[in-house]
């Protein structure tokens, strides 16, 4: 972990609030579920226990491609949990204080599930939310989120993926894994 990221951890301390909020919420929810009795079940769905989480932008151009690419290149197995955030981690890092707590809360809700093995964070060039910000800024934001997640979940694998726009007219994107 480099020095720059260590400073960011302090700057982004709101993740700690969100983390403990999730911990408390899980305890409350467990107690509540015990009291609920389901009388009718209208839908039967396949039982799935996702092992991976993908955090990505809501961008529609890349919705299917992102997941297809991830499955082939970063070993995402089965059906992952999908966390859609406009601008990927933009608001997790740059949002107003309570917005940041909200998104961390959402991420921890999934990360606290059992059997989670990997979190893949991805974003893309030409992102509406980032506007004129540089690719480096986007990649650095993903690195901050990775550092925080690594800080809490030592064993979890975290991958960062970035999609470069290589041809704007043809809307051609190329993906790469960021270290
Ligand atoms: Zn985007």
Taking only the tens place, the pLDDT of each residue in 79-126 is 899 999 999 999 999 999 999 999 999 999 999 998 899 999 999 999
How confident is the model at residue 60, as a pLDDT?
83
% of the chain exceeding 90 in pLDDT: 56
CB atoms within 10 A of CB 104: 25
Tell me the pLDDT tens digit for each residue of 24-41. Answer: 998 887 777 666 655 555
Separation of 62 CA from ligand 1 center, angstroms? Answer: 9
Q: What pTM value is reported for the model?
A: 0.81
Separation of 164 CA from ligand 1 center, angstroms? Answer: 12
Sheet with 172-178: list strands edge to edge.
Answer: 81-84, 52-56, 118-124, 157-167, 172-178
Domain that holds residue 174: 3-178
Separation of 90 CA from ligand 1 center, angstroms? Answer: 9
For the cut 70, the answer to whether the pLDDT of residue 8 exceeds it is no
Separation of 42 CA from ligand 1 center, angstroms? Answer: 36
What does the alpha-carbon distance between residue 125 and residue 134 come to, in Å, rounded to a whole number?
9
Count the domains in the chain. 1
């Amino acid at each position: 972990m480099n020095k720059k990221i260590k400073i960011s951890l302090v700057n982004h301390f709101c993740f700690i609030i969100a983390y403990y909020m999730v911990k408390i919420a899980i305890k409350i929810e467990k107690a509540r579920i015990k009291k609920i009795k389901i009388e009718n079940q209208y839908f039967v769905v396949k039982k799935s226990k996702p092992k991976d989480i993908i955090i990505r932008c809501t961008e529609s151009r890349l919705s299917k491609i992102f997941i297809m690419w991830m499955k082939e290149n970063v070993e995402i197995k089965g059906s992952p949990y999908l966390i859609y955030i406009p601008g990927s981690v933009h608001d997790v890092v740059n949002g107003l204080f309570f917005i940041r707590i909200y998104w961390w809360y959402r991420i921890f809700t999934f990360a606290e599930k059992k059997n989670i093995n990997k979190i893949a964070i991805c974003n893309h060039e030409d992102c509406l939310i980032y506007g004129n910000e540089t690719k480096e800024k986007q990649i650095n934001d993903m690195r901050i989120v990775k550092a925080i997640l690594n800080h809490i979940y030592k064993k979890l694998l975290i991958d960062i993926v970035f999609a470069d726009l290589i041809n704007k007219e043809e809307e051609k994107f190329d993906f790469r894994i960021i270290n």
